[in-house]
Amino acid sequence: MGDAKMNKIVNSLLEWYIKNKRLLPWRVDKNPYHVWISEIMLQQTKIETVISYYCRFINELPTIASLADCSEDKLLKLWEGLGYYNRARNLQKTAQIIMNQYDGQFPNSYFEILSLPGIGEYTASAIASICFSLKEATVDGNVLRVYMRINNCYDDINNVKVKSRVRNELLSIMPDNPGDFNQSLMELGETICLPNGIPKCLICPIRDYCQAFQKGNYLELPVKYIKKDKPTEFYTIFLFLYHKKVAICRRKNVGLLQNLWQFFNISNKMSLSQVKDYLESNHILFCDVKKSISYTHIFTHKKWNMVSYIINLESISNISDVQWVNLVELEEKYALPSAFQPFKKVIVEELKNNDEA
């Protein structure tokens, strides 16, 4: 596409963005702390969901210093439901680095920002361009979709070389307000040039320059190489109840969801009679066992297929390394990863029913 045409696209996008941008809490100012927290939260979660999490987080931890000093339990509780708990831990590590190495001031060069834990090219470019007006291009799924459609390009957007080429081409047309330009492309992708369903071409500010609109093939773009199905692991979740308390335990300090709270579980899916056999062979005395819900949780690289059982215990003498928590503690004090949330809901209901009985 020629330079004159590209300049027209840039100007049309900027004009449209200034008039139509959504009023989001992290857009009120250009504070890098605010932009950083919102970008990390937005990595896997929709804007509508992030707004309430973001406001609660900033309300509780209003500064980089408060994040650096916060207890891990409080941090994870604020993050509960967003998943990917290592992101929350990396936020704190980064806050501590900024306090110790940058006198509490967010670094203002792209490579210093990129060197911080949990910050990749996309987030570093977003912070650098929005907060420090540095000419860096943010290339995410939204931007790639818009770019491929405008240029009627069938290259695989999961290919790193393609992504890098798009970044270079965007850098070559980057205007003097890079933050607004990057956000205009992302905003267009989120609100007009939609990922699922039909894009709203009739109200698109760059319709006149869009080759996919002219050809009518926008639904074929962008092209993505299809990944293989994710491997599945199977688990049986034991929801142990004793005197209106439920057992939770810490995960190991390595691997997925490290050091987070969970319900007791073992690998493989067990039938009701296998669960009873397991309890008896481990000398765990129970009053009754009933099958509860099954749930499959999808992570980035794997799936967990889980079945659960509610087990009312007669004695807890042969159960070790667990914490016994009541309803209030389970709801307010301990953060459980999303993978265990459906079981938490079940056990909360069970504890409430026990209370009423």
Instruction: Give the interface with ligand SF4 as residue ranges (CB under 6 A).
Output: 146, 149-150, 192-193, 199-201, 204, 206-207, 210, 212-213, 218
**Contact present, 36 and 106 (Cβ < 8 Å):** yes
Which residues lie closer than 8 Å to 124 by C-beta, 6 or more apart?
A: 110, 113, 114, 136
In the chain, the amino acid numbered 71 is S
Least distance to ligand SF4 from the beta carbon of 202, Å?
A: 8
Which residues lie closer than 8 Å to 29 by C-beta, 6 or more apart?
A: none
CA distance 110 to 137: 11
Least distance to ligand SF4 from the beta carbon of 348, Å?
A: 44
**Contact present, 119 and 98 (Cβ < 8 Å):** no
DSSP 8-state assignment for residue 126: H
Give the residue with the Cβ less far from ligand SF4, 14 or 65: 14
CA distance 313 to 285: 6
Active site residues: 39
Least distance to ligand SF4 from the beta carbon of 193, Å?
A: 3
Which residues lie closer than 8 Å to 18 by C-beta, 6 or more apart?
A: 180
**Contact present, 139 and 189 (Cβ < 8 Å):** no
Least distance to ligand SF4 from the beta carbon of 12, Å?
A: 10
Give the residue with the Cβ less far from ligand SF4, 217 or 232: 217
Q: How many residues does the chain have?
A: 357
Give the residue with the Cβ less far from ligand SF4, 9 or 128: 9
Least distance to ligand SF4 from the beta carbon of 165, Å?
A: 19
CA distance 189 to 300: 23
DSSP 8-state assignment for residue 308: E
**Contact present, 136 and 178 (Cβ < 8 Å):** yes
CA distance 168 to 146: 15
Least distance to ligand SF4 from the beta carbon of 44, Å?
A: 24
